[in-house]
A and B are shown apart, each in its own frame.
Chain A
Amino acid sequence: MISYSLVDFRPIIPELVLLFFTFFILFIDFAIPKAKKKINGFIALIGVAVTLVVVLSLYGSSWTGFNNMIIFDKASGFVNIILLLTAFVAILMSLDFIKREGINFGEYYVILLFSLIAMQVFCSTYNLIVMFLAVETLSISMYILTAIKRDGLRSIEAAMKYFILGSFASSFLVLGIALIYGLFGTVDLLRVKELLTGADSLHTWIALVSFVLILIGFGFKIAAFPFHAWTPDVYEGAITPMSAFMSIAPKAASFMALMRLLVVGMFPIQVEWVKLLWIIAVFTMFFGNLVALWQKDLKRLLGYSSIAHAGYMLVGITAANSLGYGAVLFYLFGYIFMNLGAFSVAEYISKKNVEGCLIDDLRGMGYKYPLAGAAMLVFMFSLSGVPPTVGFIGKYYLFSAAVKSHLYWLVILGVINSAISAYFYLNVIVTMYMKGGAKEEVVSFPSPYLRAAIVIGAVGTIIFGVAPGSVLNVALSSIVF
């Protein structure tokens, strides 16, 4: 007989706070007429902000609850901060946008917050079953959010692809978990680690294959090669705030879970997974960057670019030292500002009821909207890793972690990729400033909240590029396993 006490609820305080706001929106939604659904958005914004404050004040505590099924440590605290910041900016991007597109349903924010809670759980557990539940909850929320524009062909198509491929990948995940349970009789990674340390070679190899199956499930979530194929289609088809949200939040949670899986559960077979990850990281970087060279659509470009960036972060994990893990967390943190910023600019010039956004449409934007243009310039520089932006600092620490582990070839290939990527990022800048006037006039989407999102992105990109010290230290010290 297992009994729980109030103490068990400590690690899920952030989730509970957010859950409160989510239900609050759900209940009052009936009373709010369709024209005023923005109120929901504001409540969601407040809820996220309050949760952020709660997480910040709890940061540093270390709790476990419910028979070690859920934990709250520094790492999950830091990832929580990343998730909440991302959600905050994504909601800012949505406030006016979903009204323009005629999809300002009450459930939009509710599902967004549900997915956020799932991610919070996902990054704070060592239990494979809890991970599976979280990953399913977040995936289902994501499918719905992709299809939220229910009269748009592209978004329905994208959601369908996402759903089918996602379910397919989940089957690998659940098969892997089942095998692990069959082998060791437990789904707790901490326990698996102990058992695996003393296991004979047959058990070890089967465990390895089971872990690979789980890795495939996670690889799908972080869009690593060859499990990446859904990414560009989904980013292009989904509404822009959702593409932006999806490009960071689920990845941040998945990277955290991946690190728990690799660094704790698979610790005894580190030699093997380092080799595997080395190959996956290289392919992911090359695939993302090479294909991005040919993209004409800004959102697709950012889709491929996000595959490449997942590759860079995999370099940090492949380094298999605490500097690398910390660098991954810092990179995710910086990625919020540069990537959300870039998506915000894409939204800024998007036209009503058009999912895509051609790079060619950016012509002359640098002159017509100098501030948005300058912000885009900052984001592109940061994504290609030019100092003094956060993208440079992030990449610097990822690669220096790999150097520390003597993975010189990996770093050389990574730097080559960085050079390739400069071409298509700079191409955006060239289009904005040097390709002459627009074919048709660039029109902006005049939303003050969207402007705020762009400003947050630009300021964050530069500030954390010039003075990364404090956040970097927090990120590096968050890694305690």
Chain B
Amino acid sequence: MEWLLLLCVLSPAVGCIINGLFGRWTYRAAGVIGSTFLGISFALAVPLIIYAIQGHVVDYSYYHWIVSGKFTVPFGLRLDSLSAMMLGVVTFVSFMIHIYAIGYMGGHKGYARFFTYLNLFVFAMLLLCMGNNYLTMFIGWEGVGFCSYILIGYYYEKKTAADAGRKAFVTTRIGDIGFIVGVLFIILYFGSVKFTDVFAQAHMISPAIITIITLALFLGAIGKSAQFPLYVWLPDAMEGPTPVSALIHAATMVTAGVYMVARSAPLYALSPTGSLVVASVGAFTALFAATMALTHFDLKRILAYSTISQIGYMMIGVGVGAYWTGMFHLMTHAFFKALLFLSAGAVMHAMHGVLDMRLMGGLRHKMPQVCIVMIIASLAIAGIPPLSGFFSKDVILSEALMLGHPIIWLVGVVTAFMTAFYMFRMIFFTFFGESRVPEGMHPHEAPSVMLVPLWVLAVGSIVIGGILGVKVHGHISIEHFISLTSPNAFPIVHKYSETLLIIISIIAGVLGIAVAWLAYIPKGAFSFRSFVVRTFHPLYRCFFNLWWVDEIYNFLFCRPFWHVSERFLWKAVDVKVIDAGVDDVGRVAGLTGRAVRILQTGFINNYACWVSAGALIICGWYLLKIM
């Protein structure tokens, strides 16, 4: 089994190497090659997941990567229920998106380069999920960050794309420092980075240290999973190709933070403070990001804010200690958000790169299939039963309430309402109403190589929640499965009627859709909208300008930093001190070398003289000591 696991993880790396080294020759076949290796990976994942469902755990160290005294870092992989779930999600969604990308990226420059990066990303993501210790996880963590950077900046000739890539890299780096600090603390106090060793000793370490570790690790998750206040890179990341947005910035990489918290469950369970911070940041981000999605006109950016908001939900789930709910939402979200992005990509493909919804409208006649799958995905994210989002979102909210966080529950419900509103605002704007498509543009239905993955994901978005989330014989299958690895951390404090909670969340969703319909479909909707905007003018401005967060960051951090860098560090310290110093050292070394070189005359008698002189000096020294 352990070798099957290794093969499964390495398969995308093989694809990456083939496309990377021989991209010049594989040109047309690059997409098929990349997808094939992903397919192999997915095919290998199936027996592994079944093995994990049967309750088996594989934990195997292939070789020792660092050995330093008693401290060792193995390169090892671990298959348990938690990582098995991630394995399934990552390989399946990646496989679908690879197939979609064959159609989407066809004819783009650097076709082979694209699949090289994409395969490399999946390999790094699998390392992140399947590693059996924090450092292997960290390699994957950095690997996906790097791939994200090069893929956001994929159209590197475009300045906005290159800038967005850099922004993502720098912002997530702030979080990564937190992660590194967390891992260093773990090494310091546990003397090992292996999950099994760390978790076994966790109860012997003082709670304060555990809290520091959990907070430091969570800082990493804030960066990687785009939570407040480090979420600013994700909307800009939409400059990358759409399959990248779907794979990295919706379905897999950005959820790595959630997975990391769920993986570190034994640590978070010992730190109620750390867990509360996770849940609070999650709740705040969920609401905050949802407000920003309300007024936007850019299709992909709305989805980006929605992703931030939904990851906020997952953080609530893992933060209140019900790890399975966060992971459950992670899984359903991977399906419907990938579907939303890919549909948006299909619209964008048909509209020749236009993403502004004000230039769309009435597209349901032109691309009916895309319209249907997008409505399915929106219903799912809005939490309408029996679609998948309903089950996962509902359990997060009800667990939050029952574990004693009523405010977080309330925030969640309000966010659910807003989610339903902005998603259907997007649907109505894009697919219904009058056509505002510019002259000379002829939107068309997507080709079947793109439609097939859309439909597969659509089916997944409909059924996956029901299959895993329905209560059978008193227990929910996904809860049972994830709890094998990460059981709930805290006891239930209040019991509420589940039916009541379900009804409340359904009402929130339906209400959101209804308001969106009122605001965009009937005659006179425009006057209704302008009335609302006028009434809530200050709030509207805040939403529309995204709370000026980018501007605030720019003023507070970027400009001072820039001034210090340019005026002081570069022009004073670097040029005058370091450069000059290095030059001098180089000059001294060079001159000494030239002086010493004179000794190398090429004459044997000189050489022999050297030997004799050396012998005389050494022997003479010792002989003098005798006397």
Contacts and interface: CB of A to CB of B under 8 A. Distances in A.
Interface stretch (A55-63, A224-232, A335-343, A360-368): A224-232
B566 to A, nearest CB: 27
Contacts of A172: 611, 615
B615 A229 contact: no
B589 A293 contact: yes
B623 A291 contact: no
A423 B593 CA distance: 13
B568 interface: no
Contact of B614 (A206, A227, A232, A272): A227
B586 A164 contact: no
A205 B618 contact: no
Contact of B594 (A168, A287, A294, A469): A294
Contacts of B608: 164-165, 168
A202 B65 CA distance: 51
A423 B618 contact: no
A205 B626 CA distance: 7
Contacts of B625: 205
Contacts of A227: 610-611, 614
B593 A291 contact: yes
Contact of A469 (B64, B590, B600, B613): B64
Interface in B318-367: none
A13 B625 CA distance: 46
B619 A213 contact: yes
B592 A290 contact: yes
Contacts, number: 84
Contacts of A225: 614
A208 interface: yes
A252 interface: no
B593 A216 contact: no
Contacts of B619: 209, 212-213
B188 interface: no
Contacts of B491: none
Given A226-B610, A290-B589, A291-B593, A212 B622 contact: yes
A467 B63 contact: yes
A226 B604 contact: no
Interface string B291-321: 0000000000000000000000000000000
A423 B582 CA distance: 12
A125 B619 CA distance: 26
Interface residues of A, number: 39
B596 A290 contact: yes
A202 B625 CA distance: 11
B600 A229 contact: yes
A439 to B, nearest CB: 24
Contact of B67 (A161, A165, A272, A472): A472
B65 A291 contact: no
Nearest to A216: B615
Contacts of A169: 611
B615 A213 contact: yes
Contact of B590 (A164, A230, A293): A293
Best-buried of A287, A289, A290, A470 by chain B (most CB within 10 Å): A290
A291 B600 CA distance: 9
B607 interface: yes
A287 B604 contact: no
Contact of B593 (A206, A233, A293, A469): A293
Contacts of B589: 290, 293, 420, 423
Interface string B569-606: 00000000000000000100110111011011010101
Nearest to B589: A420
Contacts of A290: 589, 592-593, 596
A467 B618 contact: no
A425 interface: no
Interface string A181-215: 00000000000000000000010011011001100
Given A164-B608, A165-B608, A226-B613, A209 B622 contact: yes
Interface string A411-455: 000000000100100000000000000000000000000000000
B582 to A, nearest CB: 10
A208 B619 CA distance: 9
Nearest to A300: B600
A54 interface: no
Nearest to A417: B589
Contacts of A168: 608, 611
B596 A165 contact: no
A227 B613 CA distance: 10
The 7 closest A-B pairs by CB, nearest first: A290-B593, A229-B607, A226-B614, A293-B593, A205-B626, A469-B64, A226-B610
Given A212-B618, A294-B594, 16 more contacts: A164-B604, A164-B608, A165-B607, A165-B608, A168-B608, A205-B625, A212-B622, A213-B619, A216-B614, A229-B607, A290-B589, A290-B593, A292-B593, A294-B597, A420-B589, A469-B63
29 contacts: A161-B607, A164-B604, A164-B608, A165-B607, A165-B611, A168-B611, A202-B626, A206-B626, A208-B622, A212-B618, A212-B622, A213-B615, A213-B619, A216-B614, A216-B615, A226-B610, A226-B611, A227-B610, A227-B614, A229-B600, A229-B606, A229-B610, A230-B607, A233-B602, A291-B600, A420-B589, A423-B589, A467-B65, A472-B67
Interface of B: 63-65, 67, 586, 589-590, 592-594, 596-597, 599-600, 602, 604, 606-608, 610-611, 613-615, 618-619, 622-623, 625-626
Interface of A: 160-161, 164-165, 168-169, 172, 202, 205-206, 208-209, 212-213, 216, 220, 225-227, 229-230, 232-233, 272, 276, 287, 289-294, 420, 423, 467, 469-470, 472-473
